[in-house]
A and B are shown apart, each in its own frame.
Chain A
Amino acid sequence: MSEGKLKKSYYYMPGEIPPGVTLGEYFEKTCRNYPDQEAFVFRDRRVTWKQTEQIVNRLVLALIDLGIKRGDLVAVLFPNRLEFIYASLALAKIGAVNVPIADRLREQEIRDILSRTEATAIIMTPEFWGFSFSDLIAEIRKDLPSLKHVIVTEKKNHPHELLFEDLIEKNWEESYPDDYYHRVYLEQHPIEADDLLEIIFTSGTTGRPKGVMHTHNTRCRSALGTINGTRLTCEDKWLIMVPLSHTTALVNAFYTSVISGACGVLLETWDVDEALKEIERNNVTIPIGVPAMPIMMLQHPDLKKYDLSSLRTMVLAGAPLPIEIARQIGEKLGCYAHNAYGMTETAISNITSMDDPIEVVCETVGKPQPGMEHKVVDENRRIVPIGVRGEACARGQNVAIGYFQDTELTAKTIDDRGWIYSGDLARMDEDGNLIIVGRIKDIIVRGGENLSPTELEDILYQYPKIKEVAVVGYPDERLGEKTCACIIPKDGESIKYEELKEFFLNKVARYKIPDRIEIMDEFPVTPSGKIRKVSLREFLAEKIKPEK
C-alpha cells in the first residue's frame, strides 16, 4: 500500500491466495510435476515424490479397508519421522481429520485428546525416549470405546495392534483395482477444501487444551502465503528442526513442500550437531525453527568445519530475534532470516520480507501475508493510533474456523467480523509492521511450548498433599520462561520437589511439571480474594536473584 505512512493501527496486505484446492489435490499435482525429485529425507532414508506417493496410496487403501473414511478423526503420534508424513498425507487424501499428538505428551494428555475427539484410530511410534505409547494405549483403550485401530511402526507389542509396515507392504491393488481411490472412494466421499483437515490441541489460558480446527483451505492458503513470503521453489530444501506435530513446521515446512515440490529434511528432535551435519549433507537451503537454534549453531565450536554455503534464508518464530544474532546469521551462516509470528490458530500471520532492512527483521515481526489484515486494538476492541500498545488481531484466510466442541471460546476469540484476538500485546509502526511487546493472555511460554497456568494448577491439585497452588512463570535465558509452583501444603504436610516430580512423571508431559516449587504459608491476595500473581512473580524474582 503505497499510500504513505499509516496513522491508525490497521493494515491490509494486498494480494490473493486462491482457495478451493485440497491438500490431497496439491500432493497429487506435485507428484505429477516432480516425480523423481527428492521429497523427504530422514537420516539415510530418502524418498522421491513418486516413492512417497506409492507408499501413501498403499496406506490410503489400507485405511479405507479398515473402514476409515472422510470425517473420521485419527490421531497421529510420531517425532519427526517419514511415517508422520505418510500418515498425514494418507489421512488428507481420505478426508479424515488428522489429530497430531506430540511425542512429549503423556497419559493424561493422550487420554484427554483421544476421549474428547473419539478418535477411531491412532497411528503411532510404539515408544520414544524410554516411554512406551504402546503400553499406554493398551492400558487405556478400554476407556476409549471409539478407538478401533491401533497402528504401530517397527514392532507390535500387543495382539490388538496392527503393524504399519505390514499395511504399506500389502498389495492392496489386488482387492482394490483400477484406481479404486479415484474411481470409487472419491465418488462416494468427495473431499472439499472447506472440509476439516486437522485439529491441533494446544494449551490456552483455561483448564484444558483447546482443539484448534483447520480446513484444507485455511492450511493450504496459509502455506501458500509462506511460499510467497520466502519465495520458496521446488529447488528448496527445508531443515525441519521443530516438531511436525506443531503448527510452525506442519504448515510452513511440510505443507509448503507438498504444494511447491520443495524437499523436507527431518531432524527427529533438535540437536545442534545433527542440524549442522544435515545442512551440509543435504544442501539445505532453508531451516525452520526458533531463534535459540541459530544461536546454538553460531556458538558451536566447530562451526567453521561445516560447509553451510547452501543456506539462503531461515524462518524463525516463537521468540524475539536479537539484532546481533541476525547480523551473525548473515555474516557467519551466509543467509537471510525471516522473523515470523503467529499462533496455532493462524500459522504465520506476520512475516518479515527479504527486502526488509535488518532493523525491521529484528525489531518487528513484519507485515501480514497477502490477503490478510491485522490491527492493534484497545480493551474496547477499537483500533489504536500508530505506536500505541494494544492487542494484536488478525483476519483472513489463515484463521482457524473455531475450537473443537467449544462454541463459547470460539465466539470469545474470533468475533463475528472474522477477527481473531491473539492475547498478545503489540504496536504497529507507520509502515504496517507489527511489533510484539508482551502478552495480555495469561500463558507461560517455556521453550516454545505454550503453558496454561490454570491447566498446570489443575494438574498439581491431583497431588493429595497440596492445599492450594498458584503457578507463575519466571525468566530463563535458555527457555525464555520457566515455571514455578507456589504451594500451600495441607496442614502438617511437607512437600519436596523430587516427590512431586516422581508423582507426575509419565502422567503428564515433562514440560508441564514445574521447574521449581516454593512452599508458602499464604498467598498475597487482592481485596476481593483473588491471588495476586504479580506479587508472587515479584517475590520470586527477588528470591532467584541472589541464587544466581
Chain B
Amino acid sequence: MESLAKSYCHMPGGDVRKGLTFGHMLENSAQEFPDNIAIWFGDVKYTYRDFNEKVNRMAASLLDLGLVRGDRVGILFPDWPEYSIALYACARIGVVVSPMNPLYRKFEITTVLNHLEAKALFIADQWKDFSFVDLISQIHSDISHVKEVIVKGSTKKSWMLDFDDLVSDRVEPGNVNETLEKYLKDNPVEADDLMEIAYTSGTTGVPKGVVHTHNTRMLHSIGIAKRMKPLADDVWLNMTPLFHTTGNCVIQHTVFLTGGTLVVMGRYSAKAALKEIERCKATISAGVPTMYIDLMNLPEFKDTDVSSLRYCFFTGAPMPPEVAKRMVESFGCGILQGDGTTECGSNVLSRPDDPVEIIAESPGPPLEVGNEVKVVDTKTRRIVPVNNRGEIGHRGPTNFLGYYKNPEKTAESVDEAGWFYPGDIGTMDEYGNIRLVGRIKDIIVRGGENIYATDMEGVIYTHPKVKECQVVGLHDERLGERTVACVIPKDPSDALTRDELVEFLKDKASKYLIPDFVVMIEDFPRTGSGKVQKFRLKDFVAEKLKS
C-alpha cells in the first residue's frame, strides 16, 4: 500500500463473498469440520456436528412455538454454549436476536424487551445468586409481547419452557430436518434480513438498538479472518462477554466461520482464564488490556504453561508500550489490537506482521472487505492530512443499518454518504493505522481553547498519589467551561489538593493541562462492561461544585 498523504484509507474487498447467511455458514462448517470441537465449556465439548444438530433442533422447536422470520428474541445468558445454540438457531430461521447483559435487571430488561416487542426470551434460571426465573415472573405482565420464556437450568415456573427439552426431542429428531426444510423453502432467509438488534450501553447517554443483517455481521467476520488468518485447529479463549460485539462477533462468529474451537467460561475471572489457557491449550485469547495485566500479575502465572498461545487479541483501550512488550515476553506470542463499536464491529484490526510498538498504539487499518476509515476536521468535516487530529469516520459493508425505531438518532450518527461517526477523536498515519486520542464529547472548550480530557488525564496520572483520574468539563459563565479533575487516590486517606497538583506540574506541563478544580472520588460511574460514564460523572461534579 502506498504511503497516504490524507487521513483516508480504503481496503479493497472485491474477492469477498457477499450474500452468506449464518444458517448456511454453520452448515458449511459442520460439513467441512464435523469432528472439530466447536464449543468447549468446562467439561462439555460439542463438535460441529453436535452443535449443528442442537441448533437445528432448537430452530425446529422455535418454529413449533410459532416463531417466524423477522420476530425478535432476547438472549440473556452468561457465557454458556446455550448462548451460541440459541443465537444460531434463531439465525437459521431468520429470527432476530438481541444479546442481553446478564447483569441487566428489571429496568433494562423491561425497556429492551418492550422496545423490541420481543416474542420470546432465553434466560438462565439463576446466575451469581440472582434468580432470573423470579424476576421474569414478577415482570411478566410488564413485558406482554413475550409469549415464551425458555429457561436453561433446573428451576422454572410451570408456564416456562425448558431449554434442554427444546434442544433434544420437543420436535421428533427424525422430523427436525424436514420441518426446517419445509419452512425454509417457503420462507428462505436472505443475507440482507435482520439478524441482530444489540442495545449498546454507550458511555454517552441513552441505550440504542443497533440493527445488523446477516451480511453486515458475516462480512465483518470474513474481514477479521482475512486479517488474522486463523486456522481450523485454533482454540480461542474468549474472556470478553459474549453478549458484547467483541465476544459475539469478533470472536464467536469468526471461530465458527473458520472451524476453530470457542472456549467459554461463563464469566471471566483472571484465575479461571489462566487455568483455561493451559488446560485447553488456547492458541488465541481475546480480552481487554486490564485482563492481560491481571493475568501477568497473578502469582501462579510463572508456573502456568501458556506456550500454546500464538495471539493475544485485545480491544477497548490502547496498551501502554511497556505492558505490550511485557506481554509479548511473558506470553511468548504476538499481540493484535482491534477497536470498534456495536455499530461497525471491529472495523479496524492490527496487521499481524506489524511491529509490536505499532500494534500497542494502534488498532490498525480497516478490514479488507471494502471498508473505509477517515479522519475529518471537527468543524469543517473535511479530511485532514495524515497524523492530524480529527473525528474518525467509518464506512463499509460491516456498518449497521441504523438504530431500531429511531430514525432521528440514525440520521444524527450516519451522514448522507453513509459515514458513521462513533464520536472518537484520533489520527491516521501514512499506513492507514488509526490512533485514538479520546471521545469528541470529552473535549472541553475553555475560553475558546480545545482541551482534550485524555491529555490532561495523562499528565495528572504522573502524580504519585493518583490511582485513577477522569477529567470533565464544568459549565462556566465567562469561559464557557472549566476543567475538573476527578481523582481516585491510591490512599483514600491521602487526598490530593489542587495546590499540590499545580506545584507538581509547574514546568512539566502547559498551564492548559492544569485543571481548574480537583475533586476526590471513591469510584466513577461505570457501564456494565467497566467503561467510565463521563456524562454521569459530569452531572455528579456539577451537583457537587454548585457553589
- B residues 1-46 near A (Cβ < 8 Å) are 8, 10, 12-19
* A373 interface contact, C-beta 8 A: yes
* A370 interface contact, C-beta 8 A: yes
- A residues 134-151 near B (Cβ < 8 Å) are none
A194 touches B14 (CB 8 A): no
Interface 1/0 per residue, B207-228 and A, CB below 8 Å = 0000001010000000000000
Q: Using a Cβ–Cβ cut-off of 8 Å, how many residues does chain A contribute to the interface with B? A: 25
B417 touches A12 (CB 8 A): no
B188 touches A8 (CB 8 A): yes
Say how far B370's CB is from chain A's closest CB, in angstroms: 7
Residue contacts A-B, CB under 8 angstroms, 15 given: A10-B190, A15-B14, A16-B12, A16-B13, A16-B14, A17-B14, A18-B10, A18-B12, A190-B382, A192-B383, A371-B14, A373-B18, A382-B190, A416-B402, A417-B215
Q: A10-B19, A401-B417 are in contact. Are A16 and B383 (CB under 8 A)?
A: no
Q: A190-B382, A190-B383 are in contact. Are A370 and B14 (CB under 8 A)?
A: yes
The complex places the Cα of A194 from the Cα of B188 at a distance, in Å, of 36
* B372 interface contact, C-beta 8 A: yes
Interface 1/0 per residue, A393-412 and B, CB below 8 Å = 00000000110000000000
List chain B residues, Cβ under 8 A from A130: none
Measured CB to CB, the nearest residue on chain B to A191 is B382
Other CB < 8 Å A-B pairs besides A10-B19, A16-B15, 15 of them? A8-B188, A14-B14, A14-B17, A16-B12, A16-B13, A16-B14, A16-B370, A192-B383, A370-B14, A371-B370, A383-B190, A401-B417, A417-B213, A417-B215, A417-B401
* A19 interface contact, C-beta 8 A: yes
Say how far B165's CB is from chain A's closest CB, in angstroms: 33
List chain A residues, Cβ under 8 A from B401: 416-417
Measured CB to CB, the nearest residue on chain A to B419 is A194
A215 touches B18 (CB 8 A): no
* A529 interface contact, C-beta 8 A: no
* B354 interface contact, C-beta 8 A: no
* B192 interface contact, C-beta 8 A: yes
Say how far B161's CB is from chain A's closest CB, in angstroms: 30
* A421 interface contact, C-beta 8 A: no
A401 touches B416 (CB 8 A): yes
Measured CB to CB, the nearest residue on chain A to B8 is A20
Say how far A215's CB is from chain B's closest CB, in angstroms: 7
List chain A residues, Cβ under 8 A from B382: 190, 192
List chain A residues, Cβ under 8 A from B416: 401-402
The complex places the Cα of A370 from the Cα of B13 at a distance, in Å, of 11
A12 touches B17 (CB 8 A): yes
Of the candidates A14, A192, A419, the one whose C-beta lies within 8 Å of that of B15 is A14
The complex places the Cα of A529 from the Cα of B219 at a distance, in Å, of 50
A20 touches B10 (CB 8 A): yes
List chain A residues, Cβ under 8 A from B383: 190, 192
The complex places the Cα of A79 from the Cα of B441 at a distance, in Å, of 52
The complex places the Cα of A20 from the Cα of B7 at a distance, in Å, of 11
Which 4 A-B residue pairs are closest in the complex by CB-CB distance?
Answer: A16-B14, A194-B417, A16-B12, A15-B14
Say how far A10's CB is from chain B's closest CB, in angstroms: 6
The majority secondary structure among interface residues of chain B is: loop
Q: A12-B18, A371-B370, A402-B416 are in contact. Are A383 and B10 (CB under 8 A)?
A: no
Say how far A57's CB is from chain B's closest CB, in angstroms: 22
List chain A residues, Cβ under 8 A from B417: 194, 215, 217, 401
Measured CB to CB, the nearest residue on chain B to A371 is B14
Interface 1/0 per residue, A10-31 and B, CB below 8 Å = 1010111111100000000000
The complex places the Cα of A383 from the Cα of B189 at a distance, in Å, of 10
Interface 1/0 per residue, B334-366 and A, CB below 8 Å = 000000000000000000000000000000000
- B residues 151-205 near A (Cβ < 8 Å) are 188, 190, 192
A419 touches B14 (CB 8 A): no
Say how far B392's CB is from chain A's closest CB, in angstroms: 15
List chain A residues, Cβ under 8 A from B18: 12, 373
- B residues 263-293 near A (Cβ < 8 Å) are none
The complex places the Cα of A494 from the Cα of B250 at a distance, in Å, of 74
List chain B residues, Cβ under 8 A from A190: 382-383
List chain B residues, Cβ under 8 A from A417: 192, 213, 215, 401
List chain A residues, Cβ under 8 A from B213: 417
Measured CB to CB, the nearest residue on chain A to B383 is A192
Say how far A395's CB is from chain B's closest CB, in angstroms: 9
The complex places the Cα of A217 from the Cα of B8 at a distance, in Å, of 14
The complex places the Cα of A202 from the Cα of B301 at a distance, in Å, of 70
Say how far B414's CB is from chain A's closest CB, in angstroms: 10
List chain B residues, Cβ under 8 A from A416: 401-402
A12 touches B15 (CB 8 A): no
Say how far B47's CB is from chain A's closest CB, in angstroms: 27
The complex places the Cα of A393 from the Cα of B290 at a distance, in Å, of 48
Measured CB to CB, the nearest residue on chain A to B380 is A190
The complex places the Cα of A364 from the Cα of B437 at a distance, in Å, of 53
The complex places the Cα of A373 from the Cα of B402 at a distance, in Å, of 21
A8, A16, A371, A382, most chain B CB atoms within 10 A: A16
The complex places the Cα of A189 from the Cα of B8 at a distance, in Å, of 17
Say how far A369's CB is from chain B's closest CB, in angstroms: 11
- B residues 67-125 near A (Cβ < 8 Å) are none
The complex places the Cα of A401 from the Cα of B215 at a distance, in Å, of 21
List chain B residues, Cβ under 8 A from A382: 188, 190
The complex places the Cα of A382 from the Cα of B190 at a distance, in Å, of 8
- B residues 400-455 near A (Cβ < 8 Å) are 401-402, 416-417, 419
Measured CB to CB, the nearest residue on chain B to A383 is B190
A383 touches B13 (CB 8 A): no
Say how far A94's CB is from chain B's closest CB, in angstroms: 15
B188 touches A383 (CB 8 A): yes
The complex places the Cα of A16 from the Cα of B18 at a distance, in Å, of 13
Of the candidates A17, A192, A370, A419, the one whose C-beta lies within 8 Å of that of B192 is A419
Q: A190-B383, A194-B417, A416-B402 are in contact. Are A12 and B12 (CB under 8 A)?
A: no
The complex places the Cα of A12 from the Cα of B417 at a distance, in Å, of 22
The complex places the Cα of A419 from the Cα of B401 at a distance, in Å, of 12
Measured CB to CB, the nearest residue on chain B to A10 is B19
Say how far B312's CB is from chain A's closest CB, in angstroms: 32
Of the candidates A12, A15, A215, the one whose C-beta lies within 8 Å of that of B19 is A12
Say how far A392's CB is from chain B's closest CB, in angstroms: 16
List chain A residues, Cβ under 8 A from B8: 20
- A residues 408-448 near B (Cβ < 8 Å) are 416-417, 419
Say how far B93's CB is from chain A's closest CB, in angstroms: 15
Say how far A386's CB is from chain B's closest CB, in angstroms: 13
List chain B residues, Cβ under 8 A from A14: 14-17
Measured CB to CB, the nearest residue on chain A to B417 is A194
The complex places the Cα of A19 from the Cα of B397 at a distance, in Å, of 14
The complex places the Cα of A8 from the Cα of B10 at a distance, in Å, of 31
- A residues 349-404 near B (Cβ < 8 Å) are 370-371, 373, 382-383, 401-402
Measured CB to CB, the nearest residue on chain B to A415 is B192
List chain A residues, Cβ under 8 A from B13: 16
List chain B residues, Cβ under 8 A from A401: 416-417
List chain A residues, Cβ under 8 A from B19: 10, 12, 373
List chain A residues, Cβ under 8 A from B188: 8, 382-383
Say how far B1's CB is from chain A's closest CB, in angstroms: 12
List chain B residues, Cβ under 8 A from A217: 417
The complex places the Cα of A215 from the Cα of B417 at a distance, in Å, of 9
Measured CB to CB, the nearest residue on chain A to B13 is A16
List chain A residues, Cβ under 8 A from B370: 16, 371
- A residues 5-64 near B (Cβ < 8 Å) are 8, 10, 12, 14-20
B192 touches A19 (CB 8 A): no
The complex places the Cα of A203 from the Cα of B100 at a distance, in Å, of 48
The complex places the Cα of A371 from the Cα of B396 at a distance, in Å, of 13
List chain B residues, Cβ under 8 A from A383: 188, 190
The complex places the Cα of A190 from the Cα of B384 at a distance, in Å, of 10
The complex places the Cα of A18 from the Cα of B18 at a distance, in Å, of 17
The complex places the Cα of A17 from the Cα of B370 at a distance, in Å, of 10
Interface 1/0 per residue, A276-318 and B, CB below 8 Å = 0000000000000000000000000000000000000000000
List chain B residues, Cβ under 8 A from A402: 416
List chain A residues, Cβ under 8 A from B10: 18-20
